[in-house]
C-alpha cells in the first residue's frame, strides 16, 4: 500500500430532518470546519432522490475514506443511503471482476442510536451488538474491497444533549477525523474494537 501524506475524507450525511437534529447536525457542523473533509448532505442534494450516479462515483474516486453519517433507523441507514448504495455501487464500478474503484479505501459508519449501549447485546432487548447489526454494511465494504472500521457511535442519542454528553462526543469526532486525515489511526487495532470511540487514545498514534 502506498503511503500518502494525508487522506481525503468523504462524509455522506443522511438525516431526513436536519433542522430537528440534535446530534448529527452539530457533528456535521464540526466536520465542515475541518480542512480536507468533503461533507455531502444527501437529503439536501437529492431531495427528490434522483441521485446523480456519475457525480457520486467521481466523489468516491476522489476520496480515501468513506463515511456514512446517519441516525440508526431500524438497525440500518435512512432510506436515501440505501438508495445511494443501490445506485452508486454499480457492478463493474464497486464490485465484480472489473469493479476495483474502491479497493483499499477505508469505510465506517458514524451513527447515533436511540437505545442505550446496554440494549445492544445478546441479553439486551436488541439482542445483537451494533457491529453485528451492521454486518450488511461490513460485507458491503468487504465486497467492494474496502477496509471496514467499527462504527463511531453515540448511544442514547435522544437524551445526549440534556445529559451533556454531546460536547465530548463532538470533540472525539473532530479528533478522530483529524487522525484519519493525518493517517495517525492504528487501523489494525481499531478494526477489532466493538465501536471506534470506546477509547480513542488507544488507537490514535502520536507521531
Partner 1 sequence: MGGLLFQAFIYLCAAVIAVPIAKRLGLGSVLGYLLAGIFIGPVIGLVGSETQTIQHFAEFGVVMMLFLVGLELQPKMLWEMRSRLIGLGGLQVALTTALITAAALMMGLFWTVALTIGLIFSLSSTAIVLQTLNEKGLTKTEGGRAGFSVLLFQDIAVIPMLALIPLLALPELVAGSGESLTTAAESYGDAGHHHDLSLVDGLPGWAHALVVLGAIASVLLGGHFLSRPLFRFIAESRLREIFTASALMLVIGIALLMTLVDLSPALGTFLAGVVLANSEFRHELESDIEPFKGLLLGLFFITVGAGIDFNILFNDSLTILSLTVGVIVIKGLVLYALARAFRLATTDGWLLTLGLAQAGEFGFVLLSFSLQNQVLPAELASTLSLVVALSMLLTPVLFIVYDKLILNRQPDSDQRRADSIDETGSVIIAGNGRFGQIVNRLLVASGVQTTVLDHQADIINMLSKVGVKSYYGDASRPDLLHAAGIESAKAVVIAIDDRSRTLEMVEHIRRHYPEVKILARAFDVNHLYLLNKAGVDIAVRELFDGSLELGKAALRAVGVHPFKVEKMSMAFRKHDENGLNTLYELWDENTEMASNKAYLARAREHGDTLKGMMETDRMQLHDRSERGWTPPPKHYTKDMGE
Residues lying near partner 1 in the complex (CB under 8 A): 48, 50, 52-54, 86-87, 90-91, 95-97, 143
With respect to partner 1, which residue has the nearer C-beta, 3 or 98? 98
Q: 38 has which bridge partners?
A: 10
Q: 13 has which bridge partners?
A: 41, 69
CB 191 within 8 A of CB 149: yes
Q: How far is the CB of 85 from partner 1 (least distance, A)?
A: 11
Q: How far is the CB of 92 from partner 1 (least distance, A)?
A: 8
With respect to partner 1, which residue has the nearer C-beta, 46 or 73? 46
With respect to partner 1, which residue has the nearer C-beta, 91 or 168? 91
Q: How far is the CB of 63 from partner 1 (least distance, A)?
A: 20
CA torsion, points 193, 198, 200, 202, in degrees to nearest 10? -60
Q: How far is the CB of 17 from partner 1 (least distance, A)?
A: 14
- Grid cell, residue 59, equals 466523489
With respect to partner 1, which residue has the nearer C-beta, 91 or 158? 91
Q: How far is the CB of 123 from partner 1 (least distance, A)?
A: 36
Q: Are strands 37-41 and 9-13 parallel, antiparallel or unpaired?
A: parallel
With respect to partner 1, which residue has the nearer C-beta, 87 or 119? 87
Three-state DSSP class for residue 26: helix
Amino acid at each position: 500500500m502506498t503511503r500518502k501524506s494525508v487522506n481525503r475524507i468523504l462524509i455522506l450525511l443522511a438525516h431526513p430532518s436536519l433542522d430537528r437534529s440534535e446530534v448529527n447536525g452539530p457533528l456535521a457542523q464540526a466536520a465542515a470546519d475541518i480542512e480536507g473533509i468533503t461533507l455531502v448532505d444527501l437529503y439536501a442534494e437529492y431531495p427528490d432522490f434522483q441521485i446523480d450516479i456519475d457525480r457520486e462515483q467521481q466523489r468516491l474516486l476522489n476520496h480515501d475514506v468513506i463515511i456514512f453519517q446517519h441516525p440508526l433507523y431500524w438497525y440500518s441507514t435512512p432510506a436515501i443511503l440505501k438508495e445511494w448504495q443501490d445506485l452508486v455501487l454499480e457492478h463493474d464500478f464497486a464490485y465484480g471482476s472489473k469493479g476495483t474503484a474502491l479497493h483499499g479505501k477505508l469505510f465506517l459508519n458514524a451513527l447515533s442510536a436511540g437505545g442505550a449501549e446496554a440494549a445492544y447485546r445478546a441479553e439486551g432487548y436488541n439482542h445483537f451488538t451494533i457491529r453485528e447489526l451492521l454486518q450488511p454494511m461490513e460485507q458491503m465494504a468487504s465486497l467492494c474491497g474496502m477496509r471496514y472500521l467499527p462504527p463511531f457511535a453515540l448511544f442514547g442519542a435522544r437524551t445526549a444533549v440534556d445529559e451533556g454528553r454531546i460536547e465530548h462526543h463532538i470533540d472525539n469526532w473532530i479528533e478522530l477525523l483529524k487522525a484519519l486525515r493525518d493517517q495517525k489511526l492504528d487501523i489494525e487495532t481499531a478494526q477489532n474494537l466493538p465501536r471506534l470511540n470506546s477509547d480513542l487514545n488507544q488507537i490514535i498514534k502520536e507521531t
